[in-house]
Amino acid sequence: MTDIDKHGATDFVLSSEHLSQKPLEVSNADFIKIAFQGLAYQAGEGNSPCPLGVRFHGDPCHGNWTAVRLVNESIPSAADENNYYTLSVFRPDKAGKYSRKKELFSAQYVIGLDDVTPKVIARQDNKAQIPFDRITLAPSYVLETSENNFQVGFFLKQPITDPRKADELSKAIIAAGLSDPGAGGPTARLMRLPVGCNGKKHPPFQCRLRVWEPGCCYTPEEIFAGLGLKLTPEHLQTTAIPIIQPSQVSGGSSVFTPSPEFNIVLETLKSKGMVKKRTSSGKYEITCPWRSEHTDMADTGAEYWEPDEHHPVGGFKCLHGHCAGRNIKDLLEFLGVNPEDAYMFPRITIRPGEAKRIVIAVNTVLAQTGYFFQRSGRIVRVVRCGLEGRLAVEEVNASCLLVDLSSLTRWQHYDGRSKQMSVCDPPTKYLQAILEGGNHTPLPELIGITRQPSVKEDGAIRTESGYDPETKLYGDFKASDFTVPEAPTKEDAERALNGIEALLKEFPFEEECDRSAAVAAILTAVIRAQLRVAPMFHVRAHLPGSGKSYLTYLIAIFATGDDVGASNFPTNDEECQKLLISLLLPAPPVIMFDNLTTDIFPHKSLCMVLTEPVVSGRILGASRVTELSTRTLILSSGNNVGPIRDMTRRVVPIYLNPTEELPVTRQYKRPELLEEVKKQRGKYVSCALTIIAAWIRAGSPKTPSLRTLNSYSQWSDLCRYPLLWLGRPDPAQRVFEVMTEDPEREQVGAVFDAIHGYFEKRPFTVRDLAQWVEAHAVNSEVFGIFEEAGLVCGYALDRKRSGWWLKHHEGWNVNDKKLIRIKKSGKLPTYQLV
């Protein structure tokens, strides 16, 4: 047994040879302790989740199935009793009582298969039997529960805490024919403990543990692969969401009823012996209730299918002519099932005075879909849009909520006239309350979408797609496209960096720091959603055709595989604000300004987007203000234009400088570069992830005395230091150059120097300045500096302008001098250069 590869993809097939001849001795307490990873022992006190069990003497038909907690001494050990345990752990209800209820599910630890046998024999009860050769994954244990009949269990490495994921796995097991559809939900399922007897047999059969390999434990994915299970198609990948405490929605008179655990129609059909077999996912061949009307009374041609998107109460069809007009309604009538009970939806009951709990209940239902979230206090959903099916974030409005709720819930209210519950649409006032109520507690917060795996703080790579409660990001990607070494070394990082630099070979970077900046832009593109804030990148050239657009598009591919459209750079702040809000609304991976014809003006809104993780703004056509995440990569390019003033410290310039006279005529050796990279996006993105992960694993080494870039320390850590660590120049070098060259800074520096030359570190007011400047001749150097800065009027200092100027430049640090205001009270503020 021990030589079996534990990762599932093996040629393992269970056979009688794997079974130990002598029953293995493992106590029930040890079994529980190992299966639940010690949890039962910690669960001793208070209201912590706990595995449950049942025990009784004799025939299970007359057994007492009340569940008890399996903790320490309460774990049954009598060999002459029927002893069972649950595959999952459960929370207590409000009253502190434990029971095997779906809504109390906390986590699943074991996958169990029943009725596994070396020899499938025809039986009367039609229960699914699993032949040994279907067990293609080495079990954690095999328990013989009657002669030649086995229960097989697989321990999970990490428990499944998402009830939907547990359900999904259970459905996949049923779909693969490895479990009886009627065996009950994954949560309520019971399996026998190793020590105990099967009282169904006469005399009782002593259970025998025949395989005990607790080291063979698996992730759900390995179970899928190992047992050849297939996922049932879902609207979107389901994602791990925090478990919702039912106490938030239940209690008092109920406004919320979870969706039925069992399909009553299927159960009724089964109890009447009408189900012949399951034909495909959710479809059953059944005996037609009107069989007697069929030609020759043939027991054929009738089908029932379980509720789905298009058949809210399920479907029925019989091919026989006499049944032509019959549908699910007739079947329900025949079965005596109230059509309302056939809806497999959670139910909201409108009761006066319960608005708050109704709102929480709806938020709970939305949270469980895995594609509804809250963003800055508003309900949003992630949707695929466009032909390419790119994932975007969309704010939910009342109409959209009404439509979505109709396929997620049933609403009802008490009708005074008919004196019974009557189904209704969600009333508008509730829709408004749900949307505007502000508190969306059970809905997970969404910060953004990432199109690739992310790097965790410890350097591990999060490869699961879907929602990550830790980072609050929604991963929209195929995990198998990406391969990052488990513990990347500096050598791995070096190799990965060479891989990325090979793509940049043909670009005519002016200096090595420009190449470094391009790589930093690529790293930023890959992890942008993880960074609170990041600078903008601007590719600048002197002549058209230098490849600047090409380089920006190459960088963009690292942020997304989708096509990226370019916008015109706005000419004023108002336009800029409108544009940025509308662009940021769907949480795009990239915003691109291609081929700028003006300098990058420090529009206030753009400055904010580059230094604040969240910005607010008015949505066009709506009267309200919304808050949006700014976790989007911003790129631009242009000839002979670049960032000015306040933008200089927010933009990393990348200079291209081709040596040919006419770069337009330049021949590229890899004209299909963008397509190539797009096709192998996973490979190249993995290179970027490897570089960052390796740097973190190496202890995040930082080059001492590197100039800091205000507001971008997290970005510096993950996108700047790794390149310095690998011996490349500082990608931010140009930022400091441009900041130094910036005309306004130059002027401010000159004024600071002049003031410092006289006042040194002494405090001064505008009046002091004026007296000093006016003491100089008009053509003196000092006077000239203030004149150039626009601060004089005739022969005197313009006091009003100068006051404004000092206020505006408070906090500036130029030429190693920082202007601070030391006294705020009084008519004249006092400043100082430090």
Can residue 750 be called a binding residue for Zn ion (CB under 5 A)?
Answer: no
Binding segment toward Zn ion, per CB under 5 A, in 311-319, 356-364, 502-510, 736-744: 311-319
Closer CB to Zn ion, residue 284 or residue 474?
284
List, in order, residues 6 or more apart from 294 with CB less than 8 Å away: 288, 300, 301, 320, 322, 323
Closer CB to Zn ion, residue 185 or residue 315?
315
- Residue 668, φ and ψ in degrees, nearest 5: -95, 140
Binding segment toward Zn ion, per CB under 5 A, in 150-158, 316-324, 546-554, 645-653: 316-324
Binding segment toward Zn ion, per CB under 5 A, in 121-129, 130-138, 318-326, 367-375: 318-326
Closer CB to Zn ion, residue 337 or residue 431?
337
Binding segment toward Zn ion, per CB under 5 A, in 51-59, 314-322, 406-414, 681-689: 314-322
**How near is the Cβ of 326 to Zn ion at its closest, in Å?**
7
Give the position of tokens 């190539």: 676
* Radius of gyration for the alpha carbons in the chain, expressed in angstroms and rounded: 35
Closer CB to Zn ion, residue 322 or residue 776?
322
Distance set, CA 736 to CA 523, 651, 653, 779 (Å): 20, 10, 10, 33
Cα angle 304, 307, 311 (rounded to 5 degrees) comes to 90
List, in order, residues 6 or more apart from 523 with CB less than 8 Å away: 688, 691, 692, 718, 719, 722, 723
Binding segment toward Zn ion, per CB under 5 A, in 184-192, 323-331, 384-392, 745-753: 323-331
Closer CB to Zn ion, residue 286 or residue 449?
286
Query: How far, in Å, CA of 686 to CA of 693, rounded?
Result: 10
- Please check whether residue 382 is in contact with residue 392, taking contact to mean a CB–CB distance below 8 angstroms: yes
Can residue 323 be called a binding residue for Zn ion (CB under 5 A)?
Answer: yes
H/E stretch holding 640 reads none
Closest by Cα among 563, 567, 575 to 596: 567
**How near is the Cβ of 323 to Zn ion at its closest, in Å?**
3
**How near is the Cβ of 277 to Zn ion at its closest, in Å?**
17
**How near is the Cβ of 297 to Zn ion at its closest, in Å?**
10
Closer CB to Zn ion, residue 164 or residue 320?
320
Closer CB to Zn ion, residue 276 or residue 578?
276
- Please check whether residue 320 is in contact with residue 293, taking contact to mean a CB–CB distance below 8 angstroms: yes
In the set 200, 320, 809, 818, which binds Zn ion (CB under 5 A)?
Answer: 320
Closer CB to Zn ion, residue 304 or residue 725?
304
**How near is the Cβ of 127 to Zn ion at its closest, in Å?**
27
Binding segment toward Zn ion, per CB under 5 A, in 102-110, 285-293, 342-350, 460-468: 285-293
**How near is the Cβ of 328 to Zn ion at its closest, in Å?**
13
**How near is the Cβ of 286 to Zn ion at its closest, in Å?**
10
- Please check whether residue 104 is in contact with residue 98, taking contact to mean a CB–CB distance below 8 angstroms: yes
List, in order, residues 6 or more apart from 704 with CB less than 8 Å away: none
Closer CB to Zn ion, residue 318 or residue 584?
318
- DSSP calls for 335-357: HT--GGGG--S-EEEE-TT-HHH
Copy the structure tokens of residue 258. Answer: 């979870």
In the set 14, 318, 644, 785, which binds Zn ion (CB under 5 A)?
Answer: 318
- Residue 474, φ and ψ in degrees, nearest 5: -105, 115
Closer CB to Zn ion, residue 290 or residue 736?
290
**How near is the Cβ of 316 to Zn ion at its closest, in Å?**
9
In the set 35, 244, 288, 654, which binds Zn ion (CB under 5 A)?
Answer: 288
Interacting residues with Zn ion between 693 and 732 (CB under 5 A): none
Query: How far, in Å, CA of 367 to CA of 369, rounded?
Result: 5
Interacting residues with Zn ion between 544 and 583 (CB under 5 A): none
Binding segment toward Zn ion, per CB under 5 A, in 315-323, 450-458, 601-609, 794-802: 315-323
- Please check whether residue 103 is in contact with residue 88, taking contact to mean a CB–CB distance below 8 angstroms: no
H/E stretch holding 650 reads none
Closest by Cα among 328, 319, 327 to 301: 319
Closest by Cα among 582, 583, 513, 525 to 553: 525
In the set 290, 736, 759, 812, which binds Zn ion (CB under 5 A)?
Answer: 290
**How near is the Cβ of 294 to Zn ion at its closest, in Å?**
6
**How near is the Cβ of 269 to Zn ion at its closest, in Å?**
14
Closer CB to Zn ion, residue 289 or residue 475?
289
Copy the structure tokens of residue 723. Answer: 């390149």
**How near is the Cβ of 255 to Zn ion at its closest, in Å?**
41
Closest by Cα among 543, 535, 536, 557 to 508: 543
- With b meaning 16 or more CB within 10 Å and e meaning fewer, what string describes 316-351? bbbebeebeebebeebbebbebeeeebbbbbbbbbe
**How near is the Cβ of 469 to Zn ion at its closest, in Å?**
50
**How near is the Cβ of 108 to Zn ion at its closest, in Å?**
40
Closer CB to Zn ion, residue 327 or residue 489?
327
Copy the structure tokens of residue 42. Answer: 């910690």
Closer CB to Zn ion, residue 109 or residue 304?
304
Copy the structure tokens of residue 720. Answer: 């700047």
Closer CB to Zn ion, residue 269 or residue 615?
269
Closest by Cα among 553, 693, 563 to 636: 553
**How near is the Cβ of 290 to Zn ion at its closest, in Å?**
5
**Sign of the four-CA dihedral 157, 163, 168, 169:** positive
**How near is the Cβ of 179 to Zn ion at its closest, in Å?**
30
- Residue 493, φ and ψ in degrees, nearest 5: -65, -45
Can residue 172 be called a binding residue for Zn ion (CB under 5 A)?
Answer: no
Site map (CB under 5 A) of Zn ion, residues 398-427, x = contact: ------------------------------
Interacting residues with Zn ion between 418 and 477 (CB under 5 A): none
Closer CB to Zn ion, residue 122 or residue 297?
297
Closer CB to Zn ion, residue 43 or residue 323?
323
**How near is the Cβ of 308 to Zn ion at its closest, in Å?**
22
Closest by Cα among 498, 455, 456, 551 to 727: 498
Query: How far, in Å, CA of 663 to CA of 2, rounded?
Result: 65
The site for Zn ion, by CB under 5 A, has a size of: 5
**How near is the Cβ of 283 to Zn ion at its closest, in Å?**
16
**How near is the Cβ of 276 to Zn ion at its closest, in Å?**
13
- Please check whether residue 327 is in contact with residue 315, taking contact to mean a CB–CB distance below 8 angstroms: yes
Binding segment toward Zn ion, per CB under 5 A, in 206-214, 229-237, 313-321, 773-781: 313-321
Query: How far, in Å, CA of 135 to CA of 112, rounded?
Result: 11
Closer CB to Zn ion, residue 323 or residue 379?
323
CB atoms within 10 A of CB 62: 9
Q: Which residues pair with 597 in a beta bridge?
A: none
Q: Which residues pair with 54 in a beta bridge?
A: 84
Copy the structure tokens of residue 77. Answer: 């050990």
- Please check whether residue 771 is in contact with residue 809, taking contact to mean a CB–CB distance below 8 angstroms: no
Please give the order of strands across the beta sheet that includes 466-468.
448-450, 473-475, 466-468
Closer CB to Zn ion, residue 292 or residue 665?
292
Could you list the residues that contact Zn ion (CB under 5 A)? 288, 290, 318, 320, 323
